[in-house]
Structure 1
Amino acid sequence: MHHFQLPIHSLPLVRETGYMYDTNGEFTHPNRKMEKIHVFVFVVEGCIYVCENGVEYSVKKGSYLFLRKNNTHWGTKHYHPGTKWFYIHFYQAPTVIGDKPEYNHLTQTSLIYEDVYDSKISFPIHGDITNVEYMAAKLQKLVSMYEQPLPMRPLHLSIAAYQFFTELYSNQLEKNQEANKHYVVNQMIDLMRNSKHNLTGEEIAETLGMNYAYLSTLFKKQTGMSVKRFQNELLIEKAIEMFKKKEGNVSEVSDALGFSNPFYFSRVFKKVTGVPPTTYINERFY
């Protein structure tokens, strides 16, 4: 497995964090197996050499490495003279991560559904960071927080570590995006967001000048949902805005959004939000 995974519904629980340096190149990474602790290392100068599970890593300036709990890792040679690095040692709440879907960052509407929180974010075990100074400043702030005797220090540290890792995840997304494919999907998303009704496959294909079978397959692969489901979520988002502004009852909103009848609208609304529109209105507005 060449990725490190975090569930988005739980915090990385910080045990220790710090900043270190090796002026003369005297250190090697310790030979150890940490049964409950994950390790994150980010190098700001020089180079660290580590081996885990038979894979050797050269962690150079501007790169990071995750070392997973219950795996033996060790140093293969001395660090470069002048090497400087940050580290985070953290626990992870017991949970089964492997079967969880990857967090879908492309098609989030203003509504946040329950299944969003039952997903994960995945990082390459070893990777580079583009905005090195910014991320180093974030880690320095984390170290300073660790050194302060604050009343809620464990919680504040873990929240700050979670924020750091989510920014690292965003950094990786920007770096690793398949530019052309994401450009097409983003065009589809913009087209559907700006439409007042659910577009047909023919309308989408004609507007973008591409085959719809290819577009729908690409959309599902990149976003994890069908074009129809995404368009329905957008319509329900509009319906909720109309309810908030008291722009009509269920039947009137259903008609305004182009649904064939209020019963079908109610079925789609419940499928998207988990509750019928009447229940949502009563819970939200009364």
Structure 2
Amino acid sequence: MDSFVYLTGDRFPMVRDIGWNQVNDIYTHHDRILDFDVFVFVTKGSMQVVEGTTEYIINEKEHLFLKKGLHHWGRPETLPGTSWFWVHFNSPTNDYSTYKEQSPLPEIDFFYPDHYAYRFPMPKYGTSPFHRTLENRLQLLVEDFGKPTEHGMVQLSLQVYQLFLELHKATTKAWSKSTENVGKGEAVAGRVMTYLKQHTNEDFDSEQLSSHLKLNYSYVSATFKSQAGLSIIEAHTKLRINQAIDWMRNTSLNVSEISERLGYKNPYYFSRVFKKVIGQSPSAYMSHFYKSK
């Protein structure tokens, strides 16, 4: 069973409880199988816990996510004086069958409901410079948990979601820097995106891209898709449509003029592509905007 805890772009984790604990004697983690996920952050000392058959030693300023439904237990190895925060929460959903595995690329995605239908695994275990701020932030959340207010748990859950998003960004960035192959993949994808943004006014040419990057196109294509979750051609098309939308919002250009600027063969072909990507014709889409006359 996958031991990662997943969050999604369209729902926030729902906090059950949150707190802080310190032990004065040797401590043994509870032997249990939970129906909720757990976030643990050690502020002092060292905690030992086993998930399934994998042992973790969580040292000071390190975190661990424990997944619901897995067997969690421990030995009497957690040091006296160890202190930690915990957050018990329910993940947004168990059914990810319709969710994308990559977060949307901000340069090319449009903010429709399916834009948010993606999931991402929280870093299972680790630390980063961001972790130095966690103790104070978690302490404030614990204090808020003890103050019953209207919509209090919703607000607390949103704050925990924001904290998890920042944790994900910080820890993933630190991990990527230490992983050479991941770093290379991100670099290739970044170079592709730079090239595509410079060529939105023309049809895509794979040989031209390959020559520009001085890399085999099959390698570039596979690397980009693994990083971005869509093909290079799909990304190029979305960038062109995104440029079209920008002109629709901010200029008085009509559909034919926009089509011509983007290098499409004719406005009818442009309209077919636009409708395939957006779901409605350019003229219908333009009617949504509030524009001065």
Query: Unaligned 5+ residue runs, structure 1?
Result: none
Tell me which of 251, 257, 261 is aligned to 1:252. 257
Q: How far did residue 121 of structure 1 move?
A: 0.9
Aligned residue number for residue 171 of structure 1: 170
**Contact 1:247/1:253 (8 A) holds in 2:** no
What displacement does 1:98 show?
5.5
In structure 2, which of residues 169, 172, 188 is the aligned counterpart of residue 184 of structure 1? 188
User: CA–CA distance in 2 between the matches of 1:129 and 1:110?
Assistant: 29
1-structure distance, mates of 2:288, 2:236: 25
Most deviating of 132-141 and 50-59: 132-141
TM-score by length of 2: 0.88
Matched residue, 2:17: 16
Structure-2 residue corresponding to 1:44: 43
Contact persistence 1:219–1:227 (CA under 8 A): yes
> Aligned match of 2:243 in 224, 227, 238?
238
The residue that corresponds to 1:214 in the other structure is: 219
Matched residue type, 2:277: V
**Deviation digits for residues 65-121 of structure 1 (CA, Å, limit 9, x no counterpart):** 122223331222242233221110112344402663213354643632433322101
Mapping of residues 93-112 of structure 1, within 5 Å? 93-97=92-96, 100-106=99-105, 108-109=107-108, 111-112=110-111
- Between the aligned partners of 1:98 and 1:84, the Cα distance in structure 2 is 38
1:80-159 → structure 2 map (5 Å cutoff): 80-97=79-96, 100-106=99-105, 108-109=107-108, 111-159=110-158
Pairwise CA RMSD of aligned residues?
2.1
In 1, Cα distance between the equivalents of 2:218 and 2:102? 24
1:279 partner letter: A
Task: Choose which of 267, 279, 289 in structure 2 pairs with 1:262.
Answer: 267
TM-aligned CA deviation for residue 185 of structure 1: 1.2
Which 4+ residue blocks in structure 1 deviate beyond 4 angstroms? Answer: 105-108
Distance 1:105 1:175, change over 3 A: farther
Letter in 2 for 1:112: F
Which letter maps to 1:3?
Answer: F
Question: Is the alpha carbon distance of 1:139 and 1:48 closer, same or farther for their aligned partners in structure 2, counting shifts above 3 Å?
Answer: same
CA contact (8 A) 1:48 1:59 kept: yes
Q: Which moved more, 1:243-252 or 1:88-97?
A: 88-97
CA distance in structure 1 between the partners assigned to 2:187 and 2:93 by the alignment: 37
Deviation at 1:193, TM superposition (A): 1.7
Q: In 1, distance between residues paired with 2:148 and 2:42?
A: 26
TM-score by length of 1: 0.90
**Gap runs ≥5 in structure 2:** 177-181
Report the count of equivalent residues.
284
- Provide the identity percentage: 31
Q: Is the 1:107–1:223 Cα contact (8 Å) retained in structure 2?
A: no
Determine if the alignment matches structure 1 residue 77 to structure 2 residue 46.
Answer: no
